[in-house]
Amino acid sequence: MAKQVLLVDDSEFMRNLLREILEREFEIVGGAENGVEAVEMYKEYDPDVVIMDILLPIRNGIEATADIKSYDPNAHIIMCTSVSQEDKMKQAVKAGADGYITKPFQKPSVMDAISDVLAVNNASNN
């Protein structure tokens, strides 16, 4: 069975770009536009990986990451950031993010980030 991924970005363009990169190898279970939707969709779908933008309306990606990790400490969350958001990335890691990718997205870096997160999960389960 394909691994399931939840995409979280307030930009439909970015969600679609990630969907195009991932849909051949992963099942995309949903796309959230803000941090509140991200938490709700995580609870509904229990995806293997969440790819979440840091800058989101209503509840930002750092807050949503903390919420998801408090609900499920084993959640795997990869943050999306621009190069200029290094301080926010440190906050995201503190909140529980397992990795990050930078915009603009490149397929190899997205796939590597997911592989790294899932490999850590598999190693800890053995």
Residues 6 or more apart from 56 whose CB is under 8 A from it? 8, 9, 10, 33, 34, 35, 38, 64
pLDDT score, position 90 = 78
d(C-alpha 126, C-alpha 30), whole Å: 29
Below-70 pLDDT ranges, the chain: 1-2, 83-85, 120-126
How many distinct helices (H) and strands (E) make up the chain? 5, 5
Is residue 61 a contact partner of residue 54, using CB atoms and an 8 Å limit? yes
The average confidence (pLDDT) of the chain is 89
Phi, psi of 27 (to 5 degrees): -95, 120
Distance, CA of 97 to CA of 100 (rounded, Å): 8
Predicted confidence (pLDDT) per residue in 15-29, tens digit: 999 999 999 999 999
105-119 pLDDT, tens digit each: 889 989 999 999 888
88 CB neighbour count, 10 Å cutoff: 18
Residue 72 has a pLDDT of: 97
What backbone torsions phi and psi does residue 70 show, to the nearest 5 degrees? -75, -30
- CATH no. of 3-125: 3.40.50.2300
- Residue 33 CB contacts under 8 Å (≥ 6 apart), including other chains: 8, 9, 10, 12, 56, 57
pLDDT of residue 91: 82
Question: % helix / strand / coil in the chain, to the nearest 5?
Answer: 50, 20, 30
